Structure 1
Amino acid sequence: MGKRIGLIGASCRAMAASLVRGGFSVVAADMFADYDLGQIGEVRALRNYPWSARRWLRDTDVDAWCYTGGLENYPRLIERMAREKRLLGNSPETLRMVRDPFWLAGLAKRHGFEFPETHRIHDPAYNPIDPQPSDQWLLKPYRSAGGLNIERVSTLPKSAHRFYLQRKLSGVPMSAVVLSTMQGCQIVGVNRLHIGPQYGAPLPYLFAGAVSLCVPETNSLEPIVNAIHEEAGMIGLWGIDFLQTDRPTLLEVNPRWTATTALHERMRENPLMPRHVQACLQDEVKLSPRFAYWSSGVRIVYASKRLEFTDRMLRGIHAAFSLTEESYLTNQKIGDIPIPGTTIDVGSPVCTLYVDAKSEALAEEALRVNQELLEEIIYSEGSSSGDC
């Protein structure tokens, strides 16, 4: 197989950088088509995401293609696209299983691990708002990513096929990154998630970032990961979200490169996406052990007011975060930088920050400091009114 890979998703930049580090060239169809993605590969904005993806793939010269965030919710579209060019990722059949909360509930029952109580909308055996709305239940869309549009139950939607009900549980929100190969699967790393307005996200369950655990305990996760790997036929890089209490409770499977995968690449000399490609080609894969014990952090900075991203902001980011041609690929401090002239609405993502530190607490503090630095650049007087 050649080395020209097509990427499709809401944000392809981190995945693209990993491939380029591994000697591949990339062509990306991206919802945002950010400035720094254009520095490492060819990029086109998909205006009618995801429906325009199939035509883009058909018309683009690539040897194979991968999907990332959001596209996993459209297995029928992926099935049609896989007929156009070789897919490097989990199959539509696998997606239909792991994106179905009721299949996951059955998996948990068969293998003896925890999964929240889950119901269909208008289930005659259960009504969560009788006699009154309960804060113990969440309304969750079948098609979602990053916690988007999850909310507490207040009324039941009329479009029952779009949502389901899940019991709200307490615990620390966590995630894990996994690599599945034909030989088995390995947990690459574990993260503590940053969710909701406490970390600057505009919605209560929206992903705002994470820090990786320096020395994660993975024994309790392995039965869950192994069950998903074996029964769903997982391949390549993927992740799970879970709640940690005395034992982990599985919440969701993300069957592709996740927003926290880049944190674990920062801990390794070799990039992870080439391992994903090898796994999908059924080659033997050797994942290098972690060579340092530290924590890496990621933070999505959402706009607190409407702004236009300007050349002056871009210059400020270059200076403050030491952007160079090499830094776009290796241990980047900031990513997903908009193209000057882009209008960013309230609650929309502006940039993604990355840090490395000796502990999770120090990583969280570094993210806070860097967020303040970025916000000073983008919200300083006159900076949102145009360039000078």
Structure 2
Amino acid sequence: MLSNQKSILIVGASVRAAMQSAQRAGFSPYGMDLFADQDTQAAGSVQAISPYPEGIISHSKKIPASPWIYTGALENYPRTIAELSRSRPLLGNGPKVLRKVRDPFWLAETCREILPTVPQLALWKDHQSLTDSDWLLKPFHSAAGRMVQSLQTVLEKKERNPSIVKEFKEKKFYLQQRMKGETQSALYFATQGKAVLWGVTQQLSGCKFLNAKEFHYAGSIGPLSLTKEQTQDWQALGDHLVQKANLKGVFGLDAVVNQEGIWPLEVNPRWTASVELYERAYGISAFLNHVHAVNDESVTVPDFKNLTPSSYWAKGILYAKQEIEIKEPLAARLLKHSETTPPWPCLADLPTAGAIIPPGAPILTFFIACPVREQLNQRLKKFAGIYHQFFK
């Protein structure tokens, strides 16, 4: 059984959280990502890949034979996933599944089979026929909100520079109706033809106090308390997607939630950014459950009713306003500070000494816990201000 093999290769834009989870579950993880941060190195052997993702295949040949999983953004490179899966077993969703769930038109049609609350979609060539400008222009292949723009902003740019529309060819971008409400993300484990719902978190994006650009993913808050109806709807969506696409293992579903219901936006068919919040809240290994799920074995279901008061967690991603050079004293200070809150570090994704962080790039991630969910936003702002001082 794959679940008995202890070596594992983890590949993605950032593999720190998944490697730490694998390490806690008793695995020996190898990693390949863009950063090879300090705390990622502490979790196992990791290599920063450049060029990315082109260098993944050649470097993987230096790593002992083992199963592998991928994390954020690699789902945009199905050919790389297919090629790497020829030489080692993939514990997750392959290109055939990705072609379905990463197609926004397939997702909208599939979700509409069970829910009426699905955002309208259009191609760029049809934008002039839309009755209003309350739409978002989104790339077919992206992650963490990058390259997402409002249609109104794009049309204003078009007036100043008509040639800008060349980058919005319909093969690369589509339009999605912009919904009002709170952006949330559900976490599931697909196993035995069903979805095991682990919970839902609030997604943070474009937070100015974190220096995040508009629409860029900036963190999460949760797990959230759900009504019976919300739980049923999230569960129905997860089950339907698993049955229609044959999803395996951990996956996420992003949606806007308002009084009308849940409005699905996109599927993340892999390890998601919010997984580690559930691990902190529940004390359950997500990695072990993922391995069990892809093998169609039973998955541990969290006891939502017995969450302790400190189980509301938030993570914030601090972005750079200007170029930052991480010198040795600062790198050491960040590592020392992260170790002041055992068993869960208060800081993560710690850049190494000598790293140059360009404007707009993430610097680090920080975590806070609070017994009252409504206070987490204010505490995020407070600690963001504290951590900003580290880089002045």
Same fold (TM over 0.5): yes
Secondary structure of the equivalent of 1:368? Answer: helix
- Deviation of the 1:346 alpha carbon: 1.0
Tell me, in whole angstroms, the C-alpha distance in 2 between the residues paired with 1:58 and 1:283.
Answer: 30
- Which is worse superposed, 193-202 or 339-348? 193-202
Q: Deviations over 1:68-124 (max 9, x none)?
A: 0000112222112111100001121111101000101210222234221111222xx
Measured in 1, the distance between the counterparts of 2:378 and 2:174 equals 36
> In the alignment, which of 325, 328, 333 is matched to residue 316 of structure 1?
333
Give a deviation string over 1:154-178, Cα, whole Å, max 9, x none. 2444533111111212111111111
2:239 to 199, 223, 226: 226
Distance 1:340 1:362, change over 3 A: same
Tell whether the 8 Å contact from 1:177 to 1:188 is kept in structure 2 after alignment. yes
Q: 1-side partners of 2:59 and 2:332: how far apart?
A: 32
TM-score, scaled to structure 2: 0.89
CA distance in 1, matches of 2:211, 2:116: 30
1:266-286 C-alpha deviation (Å, 9 max, x unpaired):
012331111101111233333
1:257 matched to 2:257: no
CA distance in 2, matches of 1:250, 1:242: 4
What is the distance in 1 between the residues matched to 2:43 and 2:315?
Answer: 20
Question: Which of residues 15, 18, 25 in structure 2 aligns to 1:15?
Answer: 18
Q: Distance in 2 between matches of 1:286 and 1:307?
A: 42
Post-superposition Cα deviations, 1:130-167, rounded to whole Å, max 9, x if no partner, equal 89xx5312111011101110002224445331111112
Q: Which moved more, 1:106-115 or 1:299-308?
A: 106-115
Answering whether residue 285 of structure 2 is matched by residue 282 of structure 1, we say: no
Give the corresponding residue for 1:365: 378
1:146 aligns with 2:144: yes
SS of the residue aligned with 2:232? coil
Contact 1:199–1:208 under 8 Å retained in 2: no
Aligned residues, how many?
Answer: 370
Q: Distance in 1 between matches of 2:237 and 2:130?
A: 34
Partner residue of 1:172?
182
Query: Counterparts of 1:197 and 1:368 in 2: how far apart (Å)?
Result: 9
Q: Which residue of 1 aligns with 2:357?
A: 344
Distance 1:288 1:189, change over 3 A: closer
Residue matched to 2:201: 191
User: Contact (CA 8 Å) 1:113, 1:224: kept in 2 or not?
Assistant: no
CA distance change for structure 1 residues 93 and 113 in 2, over 3 Å: closer, same or farther? farther
The verdict on how the C-alpha distance between 1:308 and 1:102 changes in structure 2, with shifts beyond 3 A counting, is same
**Cα deviations by residue, 1:319-367 (Å, 9 ceiling, x for unpaired):** 444358xx5xx42211000001101111110000111110222322332
Q: Secondary structure at the residue paired with 2:282?
A: coil
More helix by share: 2
Counterpart residue identity of residue 139, structure 1: L
* Deviations 1:6-39 (CA, angstroms, capped at 9, x unpaired): 0100110001101100000111001111111001
Partner AA of 1:262 in structure 2: E
Query: What is the distance in 1 between the residues matched to 2:336 and 2:32?
Result: 28
SS at match of 2:171: helix
How far is the alpha carbon of 1:220 from its aligned partner?
Answer: 2.5
Deviation at 1:183, TM superposition (A): 5.6
SS of aligned partner of 1:11: coil
Between the aligned partners of 2:137 and 2:191, the Cα distance in structure 1 is 34
Contact 2:210 2:384 in 1 (8 A): no
Following the alignment from structure 1 to structure 2, what is the Cα–Cα distance between the partners of residues 98 and 173?
Answer: 19
Amino acid at match of 2:175: L
What CA distance in whole angstroms lies between the structure 2 residues aligned with 1:165 and 1:344?
Answer: 32
Instruction: Identify the match of residue 6 of structure 1 among 6, 9, 26.
Output: 9
- Matched to 1:114, the amino acid is T
2:251 to 222, 235, 238: 238
Aligned to 2:161: none
The answer on 1:302 being equivalent to 2:319 is yes
Cα distance in 2 for partners of 1:296, 1:20 equals: 21
CA RMSD of aligned residues (A): 1.9
Contact 1:174 1:190 in 2 (8 A): yes
1:64 aligns with 2:67: yes
Gaps of 5+ in 2: 159-164
Question: TM-score scaled to structure 1, two decimals?
Answer: 0.90
Distance 1:180 1:260 in 2: 17
* Counterpart among 307, 315, 335 of residue 292 in structure 1: 307
Kindly, what percent of the aligned residue pairs are identical? Answer: 28
